[in-house]
Homo-oligomer: A and B are copies of this chain.
Amino acid sequence: MSESRASAAPSEVSQDNAEPEEQIQPVVAVILAAGLGVRFDESNPKQLVQVGGKPIIAWSIDAFQFNARVTDILVVVNDRVREAVEAIVGDDTYDKVRTVIQGGIERMDSTEAALQTLAEAEIPQDAKLLIHDAVRPFVSQESINGCIDALDTFNAATVAVASTDTMLMAGDLGERKVVRQVPDRDNMFRAQTPQAFRFGTLRKAYDLAAADPDFHPTDDTRVVVDRLPEEPVAIVAGSVTNMKITLPSDVPMAEWIARSLAG
């Protein structure tokens, strides 16, 4: 573990001794694949399900491996998928994958583990991180590039798509969910990934959140919005094909998108 963490150093240069102009700023993709998929099928990890002829996680890693601006990839797994993921990234194709680390029970724990690894690798505070859900296999290069560009102006950005549905904020009434509020649709976006941050910004937000054991955000943007409210999070255009595979019933649609992309 310590050996693989050491190899996570994204570049040979350090912040102190390189000319800023010559330094290649790390752009690190963190692929989160430690989810248990309780809404999917716990005996069949969704990260590893084949669509369009390859495992879902291979699609996700490919998107960053083949983006010329991404310098390094870190994959976060759990024990159930570790062996399979290591076999996949063991292929010579994946020469940007620096390490495969252990995640945690919640999404936040997995991001925290990645931040810890990156801190130990002494990546610069202004390194660009792209945190991506392994189960969004069809992220576009436009969205990845949009995130990298947005971090030139903002310290945080997220891929999202405008909601074509009106959203309802619900609450409980006895056994039943009832509608409490209906926000304006024009300002409602469906968060996707990658979510992008300057390393120092996300680290700071997570450090502030660590003090609150009752905080269980479902994405990293939430951590920044809640803990660093003065920090604007830019929205980068996503796409409806950048779907998240959550339920077994999502797989046929994923197959269909995989075929469309191949065609």
Which residues of A are interface residues toward B (Cβ below 8 A)? 154, 158, 160, 163-171, 173, 176-183, 185, 187-192, 217-219, 221-222, 225-226, 232-235, 240, 244, 246-247, 249-250, 252-253, 256, 260
Contact = CB atoms under 8 A, between A and B. Distances in A.
A176 B146 CA distance: 13
A139 B56 CA distance: 30
Given A166-B191, A170-B187, A185-B218, 10 more contacts: A158-B168, A166-B190, A166-B218, A167-B190, A168-B235, A173-B232, A178-B234, A178-B235, A179-B189, A253-B253
B252 A182 contact: no
Which secondary structure dominates chain A's binding surface?
mixed
A163 B161 CA distance: 13
28 contacts: A160-B168, A163-B190, A164-B247, A165-B190, A165-B192, A166-B221, A167-B188, A167-B189, A167-B190, A167-B191, A168-B188, A168-B190, A169-B188, A170-B187, A171-B187, A176-B234, A178-B233, A179-B233, A179-B235, A181-B225, A182-B191, A182-B217, A182-B221, A182-B222, A182-B226, A240-B249, A240-B250, A256-B256
Contacts of A171: 187
A155 to B, nearest CB: 12
Given A178-B233, A182-B226, A221 B168 contact: yes
A158 B185 contact: no
A249 B260 CA distance: 12
Contacts of A164: 244, 246-247
Contacts of A252: 260
B188 A170 contact: yes
Contacts of A187: 169-171, 177, 180
Given A225-B182, A249-B240, A167 B167 contact: yes
Query: Can you list the 10 inter-chain pairs with the closest CB atoms, starting with the nearest?
Result: A182-B222, A179-B233, A165-B190, A166-B191, A178-B232, A177-B235, A168-B189, A164-B246, A166-B219, A185-B218
Contacts of A260: 252
A189 B177 contact: yes
Contact of A221 (B163, B173, B179): B179
Q: Point out which of A154, A178, A249 has the most chain B C-beta atoms below 10 A from its C-beta.
A: A178
A177 to B, nearest CB: 4
A217 B260 CA distance: 35
A251 B249 CA distance: 19
